[in-house]
Structure 1
Amino acid sequence: MGWYFAEGLIEFSGGIKSNAIASKERSDIEKLYTNMLAIVNKISKDVPKKFFSARCYDNTIYFEELFMHKDKCIRQIHSSFKSPTTIRLVIEYVSHIPKLLQWKEAVINQCLNFQK
């Protein structure tokens, strides 16, 4: 059984201000998930089809999962928050830590599925 990991699946969609337009974000999401779906054919049928990514767009970081269910792709955003640059945003970021830890646990569990 082969291991199929891509290091650093993070997408920086556009910039923070002038390049942060909806069409750029859509294009980058499509590019990211198209590349992730290309891996599906290489994964054993015994391993759940789950993909994890981190994406940054307009100063917001998204921790996402793409998974297959009944031959359809489902995209779930586990957590998203503005990059903390003020005390208020740091406090908001801290409130997202449990969700980030759940996302990390899901990534680890998927890695362990490859060892079975």
Structure 2
Amino acid sequence: MHLDGALEGVVKVESDVSVGRTGQLTGLVKCQNLFVSGHVDAKVACQTLEILPGGQFSGEVICHDFIVDEGGEFNGQRYQLTDEGEVVALEKCLEMLKNDQLFSFAGVELAVDK
């Protein structure tokens, strides 16, 4: 799906969504990959979010891959989507670090001299 105009509402597709330079997307978005050259103000769930030069994203995104090209703007909150489909927020990672659980979460075993 490619958008060059304005759309406000819910977009739920199993394919990619691209917002052209003159496009404006506001609302909720669920898609495979989102490519932003225009303006997006939304809550998004996708595999990959790529903000291209001149693109502007405001809102929240849950994604696995997150790319902001030079000249692209991101203003919001990003949550990591792991390979297992889990969502991880920065706050949760910091909390796990405080509880010495970050290494086990990452699957890293520390070698400790005894």
Q: TM-score, normalised by structure 2?
A: 0.25
Q: TM-score, normalised by structure 1?
A: 0.25
Name the structure where strand makes up a greater proportion of residues: 2
- Between the two structures, name the one with larger relative contact order (CA 8 Å, sep ≥ 6): 1
Name the structure where helix makes up a greater proportion of residues: 1
